[in-house]
Amino acid sequence: MAYVNILLEQPEPSIYLLTVNRPKSLNALNAETLDEIAAAVAEVGKDSGARALLVTGAGEKAFVAGADISQMQDFDSAQAQAFSERGNRAFRAFELLPVPAVALVNGYALGGGCELAMACDWIVASERAQFGQPEVNLGVVAGFGGTQRLTRLVGRAMAMDLLVTGRLIKADEALRIGLVNQVVAPELLRDKGLEIARMIASKGPVAVRLTKQIVQRGQDLDLANACQQEAYAFGLTCATADQKEGMKAFLEKRPARFTGR
């Protein structure tokens, strides 16, 4: 598929970089962009050589400043629901993606932008990043899973604070409340993303995939069933050549050479 609103690149073999590329409107998400994001994530998912997906926004100012307000302003109820479902489909794709997705938040991550970052497996923020769910200022609720993912990430009290006041928080507060994993200087963001992606790529691919799958699925299960899923996955990893290699390499005091089998 030829993309117009996003860029999908492979800066290194096995590492993908998706850039939302509408800097004039601060990378706001319109319907077309949401569809392209869903298609791009599916494309990465089909590549058995993929090991990690980095996600960022074009320009200096914004990761994504939200859903496209100019497109949403005249929505009736049915159009709004269809738009919300489109966004949910695109963001769910990150969770279903077999490999980890890392958001590199270079500026504003507001509304749908904060929701996009939260759909990734972890978030690295530049010192210039700002996060918020300001939908209440527009008279709507968050529409792409923000009420749910934010609550799961930072807890109910802080999620209510951010969702009901619509206030923006800077990277240091986002780090303190557990919304982001790490804060780096703006000029180091891309390198930090690549460093994380390389680190992921150096691990046992089957183990990384299964870990993501259990963490994702386990959130919707009770503890006993979630731990049972973990036991199944552990059993599966012990049927791989990589498990034999990983443990042999440890005992031989050398780096493991994983093959993904």
State which residue has the least CB distance to ligand DAK: 143
Shortest distance (Å) from residue 156 CB to ligand DAK = 20
Interface segment toward ligand DAK; rule CB under 6 A; list 38-46, 130-138, 210-218, 248-256: 130-138
- Residue with Cβ nearer ligand DAK (58 or 210): 58
Tokens of 159: 């999620």
For ligand DAK (CB under 6 A), the number of binding residues is 24
Q: How far apart are CA 244 and CA 261, in angstroms?
A: 10
Q: Which of 118, 135, 154, 243 binds ligand DAK (CB under 6 A)?
A: 135
**Catalytic: which of 12, 115, 187, 230?**
115
Quick count: other Cβ atoms within 10 Å of Cβ 17? 21
Check binding of 119 to ligand DAK (CB under 6 A).
no
- Residue with Cβ nearer ligand DAK (4 or 80): 80
The position carrying tokens 């005249």 is: 74
Check binding of 162 to ligand DAK (CB under 6 A).
no
Tokens of 73: 């302003």
The position carrying tokens 């150096």 is: 202
Check binding of 117 to ligand DAK (CB under 6 A).
no
Check binding of 84 to ligand DAK (CB under 6 A).
yes
Q: Which of 28, 105, 183, 194 binds ligand DAK (CB under 6 A)?
A: 28
List the beta bridge partners of residue 54. Answer: 17, 102
Helix axes 112-119 and 146-154, enclosed angle (nearest 10)? 60
User: Phi and psi of 123, rounded to 5°?
Assistant: -130, 125
**Catalytic: which of 60, 85, 135, 230?**
135
Q: How far apart are CA 24 and CA 22, in angstroms?
A: 6
95 is a catalytic site residue: no
Shortest distance (Å) from residue 241 CB to ligand DAK = 45
Burial (CB count <10 Å: 0-12, 13-18, 19+), residue 185: exposed
- Residue with Cβ nearer ligand DAK (48 or 73): 73
Check binding of 25 to ligand DAK (CB under 6 A).
yes
Q: How far is CA 7 from CA 101, 199, 223, in A?
A: 16, 23, 39
Check binding of 34 to ligand DAK (CB under 6 A).
no
Shortest distance (Å) from residue 237 CB to ligand DAK = 39
230 is a catalytic site residue: no
For 219-253, b/e burial (b = at least 16 CB within 10 A) is: eeeeeeeeeebeeebeeebeebebbebbeeeeeee
Q: Which of 42, 69, 153, 175 binds ligand DAK (CB under 6 A)?
A: 69
Q: Which residues bind ligand DAK (CB under 6 A)?
A: 25-26, 28, 65-70, 80, 83-84, 87, 108, 110-112, 134-135, 138, 140, 142-144
Residues with active-site annotation: 115, 135
